[in-house]
Amino acid sequence: MTTSPAPSITINRDLFSLDGEVAAVIGGTGTLGGLMADALAAFGAKVAVLGRNPERGAAAVDRLEKLGAKAMFQAADALDRSSLEKANEAIAAELGPVTVLVAAAGGNHPDATLPPGADFCDIPEEAWRTVSDLNLVGGTLLPAQVFGRSMVVAGKGSVINIASMAGITPLSRVPAYASAKAAVINLTQFLSREWATKGVRVNALSPGFFPAEQNRKLLYNDDGSLTPRSESIIGHTPMNRFGVAEELAGAVVWLASPRAASFVTGQNIVVDGGFSSITI
């Protein structure tokens, strides 16, 4: 059996340093993806923000450069393999080969969300496919194939897929999204096994409930008050609140670090304020 050598690790304050790492953050123009880009930059990584909105991309790069990081924006569509391949080449040319991939593309579709009292059997197939493609194909499959191939060739790297609490225990009203995120966790575990001896670690990060653009209408009424769904979520969360984006920083930096997380692969790291610990 082929084994890979254990790295030599010095335990000091540089354990979490990302100096020399090049991170590609797909979905880095969004709320949570942007925070993850900031966190990686703060610990020394060069960061490429990938997304479809040049204005938001430019704003993200400006923010990262103010943190002292070397950064760039690269227009890319996570559902377009050739677009991701061009992005990978452009990043390598400007910042160096990608060694950290944060695959944060994802979301839901109104037609795949069940209103109260709606029938699951009435979900349109097209809406279901849209959600599945966005979260599984664009959120994990294509980024892993494009950037992961380069990492395997180089013999090093960390892939961080963004899953969800819904992928662990299916939530009401969002069966398409929950199913896709469950598949993300499963594919993460598969890839971790495939690439474990090739120097590439693959993990998932499952945020609990963090208000962002894609879920705001489910969590807040138009007047800013909590919806009944929000009240149920907070009542099920031991910390009795939603998360804030900055609370994902530690987990993403840890998973990205080639030293601090050198023996961590195939895991789904949950950051949920205790939500998953409650039964009855």
pLDDT, tens digit (0-9, with 9 covering 90-100), for 179-196: 999 999 999 999 999 999
pLDDT one-digit tens code per residue, 150-182: 999 999 999 999 999 999 999 888 999 999 999
- The closest of 192, 198, 207, 195 to 267, measured between CA atoms, is 192
SS3 (DSSP) at 119: coil
Mean pLDDT of 268-280: 91
Quick one: pLDDT band at residue 222, thresholds 50, 70, 90? confident
Answer yes or no: are the C-beta atoms of 104 and 32 closer than 8 Å: yes
Q: In what order do the strands lie in the sheet with 71-75?
A: 71-75, 46-51, 22-26, 100-103, 157-162, 200-207, 268-271
Q: In Å, what is the CA distance from 7 to each residue of 131, 197, 198, 258?
A: 39, 13, 13, 9
Partners of 100 in the beta sheet? 23, 158
pLDDT (0 to 100) of residue 3? 63
The DSSP call for residue 167 is G
pLDDT one-digit tens code per residue, 40-78: 999 999 999 999 999 999 999 999 999 999 999 999 999
Cα torsion through 67, 68, 70, 72, rounded to 10: 30
Q: Is 78 exposed, middle or buried (0-12, 13-18, 19+ CB in 10 A)?
A: buried
Q: Which of 43, 73, 128, 177 is catalytic?
A: 177
pLDDT, greater one: 63 or 278 = 63
Enter the tokens of residue 193.
């096994």
Tokens 């797909």 appear where?
Answer: 26
Tokens 């040319």 appear where?
Answer: 93
pLDDT (0 to 100) of residue 13? 77
Mean pLDDT of 197-215: 89
pLDDT one-digit tens code per residue, 101-145: 999 999 999 999 998 889 999 999 999 999 999 999 999 999 999
pLDDT (0 to 100) of residue 172? 87
pLDDT one-digit tens code per residue, 224-258: 888 888 888 898 899 999 999 899 999 999 999 99
Indicate the pTM of the whole model.
0.92
- The closest of 272, 258, 246, 261 to 42, measured between CA atoms, is 246
Answer yes or no: are the C-beta atoms of 25 and 104 closer than 8 Å: yes
Quick one: pLDDT band at residue 1, thresholds 50, 70, 90? low
pLDDT (0 to 100) of residue 211? 80
pLDDT (0 to 100) of residue 224? 81
Whether 220 is a known active-site residue: answer no
Q: Does 214 have pLDDT greater than 70? A: no
